[in-house]
């Protein structure tokens, strides 16, 4: 498995969890503290920290600690990689569909 494939696997793993998607939804509104994330989710600070570790590992979130407060924000690196993966796969599928359409048109010829 290539590094790029492993990165995409981590991204899909991170996005496959509804709690992590909820965290990203909240972070898309702007930076927030870990405790502010935990409240509406109804999970512990430790659980939020574990989810954030996964999001950070694949480039979807960044956290920084200032004093006693850990603040989180969205990161674009993971989204950029995911967007590239979708573009690549969309192109492949569009080419396959075009080939299928050509074959079907050839089959209609008398």
> What local confidence, expressed as pLDDT, does residue 22 receive?
96
Structure confidence by residue, pLDDT tens digits, 79-91: 888 888 888 888 8
The first and second tokens of residue 10, run together, are 């981590």
Measured CA to CA in angstroms, residue 10 lies from 59, 69, 72 at distances of 10, 27, 19
| E strand map for 1-110 | 32-33, 61-66, 69-74
Question: For 3-42, what is each residue's pLDDT tens digit?
Answer: 788 888 999 999 999 999 999 999 999 999 999 999 999 8
Query: Which residues lie closer than 8 Å to 17 by C-beta, 6 or more apart?
Result: 51, 54
CA 98 distance to own-chain centroid: 29
Among the ranges given (2-6, 60-64, 89-93), the one the predictor scored with the smallest mean pLDDT: 2-6
Cross-sheet strand order for the sheet of 32-33: 32-33, 69-74, 61-66
């Amino acid at each position: 498995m290539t590094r790029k494939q492993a990165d995409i696997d981590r991204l899909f793993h991170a996005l496959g969890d509804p709690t992590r998607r909820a965290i990203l939804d909240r972070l898309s509104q702007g930076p927030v503290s870990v405790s502010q994330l935990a409240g509406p989710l109804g999970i512990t600070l430790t659980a939020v920290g574990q989810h954030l570790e996964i999001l950070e590992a694949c480039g979807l979130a960044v956290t920084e600690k200032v004093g006693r407060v850990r603040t989180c924000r969205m990161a674009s690196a993971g989204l950029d990689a995911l967007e590239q993966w979708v573009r690549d796969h969309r192109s492949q599928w569009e080419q396959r569909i075009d080939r299928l359409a050509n074959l079907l048109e050839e089959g209609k010829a008398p």
